[in-house]
Amino acid sequence: MEVLFAYPNYQPVQGNSGDNHISLSLQYGEKHTGFIHMHYTGLLSVFSPADIAALYIMYSNDNMKSPIESFAMGLVTAQGTTYLLVIEDANKFGNFGLNADLIDQYGIDALESLYSQWPYYITSSSTNDNNERNFAKMLKQMDSGLKLMKGNPSNFNSWETVDVDSNGNVTTNPCP
């Protein structure tokens, strides 16, 4: 999988001190090629349920430039992890977001509960490897249409896909 980045116009957004979220305040149809954000100490080392909901809201509000599969959500964490989340299959992602009710707090809360329970245990106290492995498995098992990519935090020049085979084994594979 290849992700290409041009030199876009950046629009920095700063959250409020003490909040664990930011408001993107996007207008319907306002197009973007992606966004990147960070999780500070105490937050997850992978994408959160609120992150996935924000991605789905952008998708459902037509905020992604075409092709949608070229849109990337980036994450850098205090734990030293660096990820991209890309939409590999827009139809599957649309169905996943609709079925999980990701435009409603109830749906986000249900996804958050799923994260923290068996078989995933994706928590802020889990290891980075555990969270990465189980997050990738969850995306695959839920047929989310999303693909996780892991970056090299020292230079951001090399990326690997985090893949899950039919037996649930997780591997990383270099991107060309």
User: What is the DSSP annotation of 109-171?
Assistant: HHHHHHHHSTTT---TTS-HHHHHHHHHHHHHHTT--EEEEEE-TTTS--EEEEEE-TTS-EE
Q: How many domains does the chain have?
A: 1
pLDDT for the residue numbered 135: 97
52 falls within a domain: yes
pLDDT for the residue numbered 30: 77
pLDDT for the residue numbered 13: 56
- Tell me which residue range forms the domain holding 146: 34-174
Q: Amino acid letter at 55?
A: L
Q: Terminus-to-terminus CA distance in the chain, angstroms?
A: 7
Q: State how far the Cα of 53 lies from the Cα of 108, in Å rounded to an integer.
A: 7
pLDDT tens, 114-162? 999 999 999 999 999 999 999 999 999 999 999 999 998 777 788 999 9
pLDDT for the residue numbered 29: 75
124 falls within a domain: yes
Q: State how far the Cα of 142 lies from the Cα of 154, in Å rounded to an integer.
A: 31
Please check whether residue 83 is in contact with residue 153, taking contact to mean a CB–CB distance below 8 angstroms: no
CA dist 142 → 1, 111, 123, 145 (Å): 21, 11, 18, 9
DSSP 70: G
11 falls within a domain: no
Q: State how far the Cα of 33 lies from the Cα of 10, in Å rounded to an integer.
A: 10
Structure tokens belonging to residue 24: 């993107």
pLDDT for the residue numbered 165: 87
1 falls within a domain: no
Q: State how far the Cα of 160 lies from the Cα of 147, in Å rounded to an integer.
A: 11
pLDDT for the residue numbered 63: 87
Please check whether residue 73 is in contact with residue 15, taking contact to mean a CB–CB distance below 8 angstroms: no
67 falls within a domain: yes
pLDDT for the residue numbered 20: 55
Low-confidence ranges of the chain (pLDDT < 50): 1-7
Structure tokens belonging to residue 96: 């996943």
19 falls within a domain: no
pTM of the full structure = 0.85
57 falls within a domain: yes
pLDDT for the residue numbered 87: 96
5 falls within a domain: no
